[in-house]
Amino acid sequence: MKGLTVIIIVVLCCAASERTLAMNINSQSIRNQEIVELVFLPEYDKVQVVLLYETLCPACRQFDTSDFKLLIQELDLYVDIHTYPYGNAHEKVINNETVTVCQHGPTECYGNMLHGCALNLLSNTTKAQLFNSCTMESQYTDASFDDAAYQCGSKMYIAADKIVECAKKDEAKLILSAYGKKSRKYTYDYVPFVVINGKEWTNHDQDLIKVVCAEFKNPPPPCKQYL
């Protein structure tokens, strides 16, 4: 029939042992185009992973862009991941004002705030974590965090200007302080500091993803190659 568009909606049914993840529409990913992803997954227990880090720590940069990035890419659907960009910073009262002092100076505080803004502004936590990881890659070692943010934003279809703008406002200091409070719930004297299901990850000779996969009662498919 001319002039008539017929839309057919197909309803997929799954067994009672499965759950349906809601449609994920990310309007920021590609301009004027919506990506709709409908995923059906069996029920898997979730493993919680918490990472405490700071943006100018060499060990953090190496870890965040290798082991931790792989974990996010492989298991983001099955792992409850929390990242706290604060590290070994501490609060200090200067001229009757409480300020955050970072281990590697003001530049690191700015990087931590940039990461905090990304986590707060991006609705997709996985994308925010991968964006932050991108800004810590080796090619950006000598670049400013703003330059890294814009380049990573361009590569990942993320509006980095909003994140940079947030990092330069007073609200970023509040965000950094909030991540400090979350970090201080843990007892640690080094970073990167990883907690898996409430337990500190101490055997760093083992691959992180292998350790996480071993925590599942019912390991998801991506873990098969690591166990």
Domains of the chain, each with CATH number or no CATH: 42-225 (3.40.30.10)
Kindly report whether the peptide bond that precedes residue 192 is cis, defined as omega within 30 degrees of 0: yes
List residues bridging with 97 in a β-sheet.
Answer: 94
Band of residue 94 on the pLDDT scale cut at 50, 70, 90: confident
pTM: 0.80
Amino acid identity at 201: W
Q: What is the pLDDT of residues 21-68, one digit of tens each?
A: 333 333 343 334 444 444 545 677 899 999 999 999 999 999 999 999
pLDDT, residue 21, reads 35
Whole-number pLDDT of residue 98: 86
- Cα dihedral value 156, 159, 164, 167, nearest 10: -100
> DSSP secondary structure string, 186-223?
S--SSSSEEEETTEE---TTS-HHHHHHTT-SS--GGG
Distance, C-alpha 96 to centroid of its chain: 34
Over 80: is that where the pLDDT of 11 sits?
no
The model's pLDDT over 199-212, given as tens digits with 9 standing for 90+, comes to: 999 999 999 999 99
Helix or strand or coil: residue 48?
strand
State the CB neighbour count (10 A cutoff) for residue 144.
Answer: 12
- What would the mean pLDDT of 99-120 be, rounded to a whole number? 97
Residue 13, classed as helix, strand or coil, is coil
How open is the CA angle 117-164-109, to the nearest 5 degrees?
65
pLDDT at 41: 53
Structure tokens at 224: 């098969």
Percent of the chain beyond pLDDT 70? 81
| Mean pLDDT, rounded, of the chain | 86
Q: Which range (12-16, 102-106, 190-194) has the least confidence? A: 12-16
Q: Which two tokens stand for residue 149?
A: 């943010």
Q: What is the average pLDDT across 117-130?
A: 97
